[in-house]
Every structure is written in C-alpha cells, then in structure tokens.
Amino acid sequence: MVNIAKQSVVVITGATSGIGQLAAIEFAKQGFHLVLTTRSDFKAKSVDELIKTVAPDATIDFFFGDLSLMKDVVRIGEEIRQKHPKIDVLVNNAGLHAFKQRITSEGFAEMIAVNYLAPWLLTQTLQHSLINADNARIVNVASRAARNHGEFRVTEDLTDKSDFTVKESSKLYGKSKLLDIMFTGELARRLNATGVIANAVCPGFNVTGLGQCPKGSKQLWRAAA
C-alpha cells in the first residue's frame, strides 16, 4: 500500500481525456496523490476506474467546474488550496481548439478563456501551496502552434470576440499558446527565489479530441498540441 502521508501532490487540468489522462496514469504509477479537475461526475468516475486498473492504490481527488468560467476557476483553486496546503506539481493541460467563435457567459472568447486565462488564474490561486512545497514544478502545456500566431496585439487579442473561420482558428489557437509561453517566462522570473520552477512544454503532434474538426470539413483532425 502507498503511504498517503508521504505522497507528493500533483494537480492536473484536462485529465479526463487525451494527454492529460495519460499523464495522470503515469503520475499514479509513481505514487503521486492525484488532484484532477473535471466538469462532470460521469467523467470523474470513468477516469477513476481507468487509472485504478493500472494503479489500484491510487489516491484521487476530483474538483468540479467549468474552466471556461473564471468564477469556477477561482472556486476550484480555492477548494484545492484549502485541502492541499502543499502542492508539488501543477500541470495546466486543459486546452481548446475552437473552430468557431463562442463567448462565455462572463463575456470572454472561449478559446482565450480556457487556454490562457484559466491556467493563469488557477496558478495564481494555487501559488502559495506551490511555494509551500519543496521545489515545486509548474508545467504549462503550450504548442509549436504558437509560431503560427499571425499579427500579435496583446490587449486586442485578449478581448477580441469577432467571428472566425475554421482556417482562421489556427492563428487564434496559436496566439493563445504564445500567451501561455509568455506567461510561463514571466512566472519563472517572478518565482525565481521561491524554489518553484515553471516550464512550458510542447507535447508534439498527437491525435486527441481537442483538434477534431466539424463534420464536413476535409481535414478531420488537427494537432492537439
């Protein structure tokens, strides 16, 4: 049996499918205490059963909410922070490649909200728990798609709610990932004296539900990274 008192804690967003799910499985195999975010009890039960088929003694906590809504991000972050005053690893993995514009109920473009605002806000909310751990790590899942960002205008891009086509979506996705990379660099600078290390990573080309095009599109999949 794993000694829970000595387990390192890893928080992973977007762990109910794709590379986030694979990462959760690997962390579980190594004996980490998993803290996973999800939007539904159904997905939580499904990934819980899957992980425990390969790591029967895995300890898993689920926190529920919609990462496109900043009020949910803050609430989830505060709930995690209260239960876990020390967090060893934070993996901001949840991401979205939208093929048409969708505006959240809070007035943000959904792709910017999920890909950039949510990881930024969650990291800020969990910052003290990360600092409290010895040599904590933050991993922000970025992408080489950031190279295909087109014209970059920070303020305008954060507030842009205009419609876009499937073809135009790639540049907007790239902008959101470039913002993640820039955020990671500044985060590393600010946390330099705390022992917390922040990194951005490109998982490479892979096939997951993140990049699935609408029906009727000639290109069935886009790179999830």
Given this model, what pLDDT does residue 150 score?
A: 59
Number of domains into which the chain is organized: 1
Domain boundaries, position 176? 4-211
Is residue 133 included in any domain, yes or no?
yes
Is residue 216 included in any domain, yes or no?
no
CA dist., res. 39 & res. 18, Å (int): 15
What pTM did the predictor assign?
0.86
Given this model, what pLDDT does residue 118 score?
A: 97
Stated as kind and residue range, the H or E segment containing 79 is helix 70-83
Catalytic residue among 32, 63, 173, 183: 173
Is residue 225 included in any domain, yes or no?
no
173 is catalytic: yes
Is residue 127 included in any domain, yes or no?
yes
What's the order of all strands across the beta sheet hosting 197-201?
A: 59-64, 33-38, 9-12, 89-92, 137-141, 197-201
Given this model, what pLDDT does residue 201 score?
A: 79
Is residue 40 included in any domain, yes or no?
yes
Residues of the chain whose pLDDT is less than 50? 1-5, 145-146, 209-225
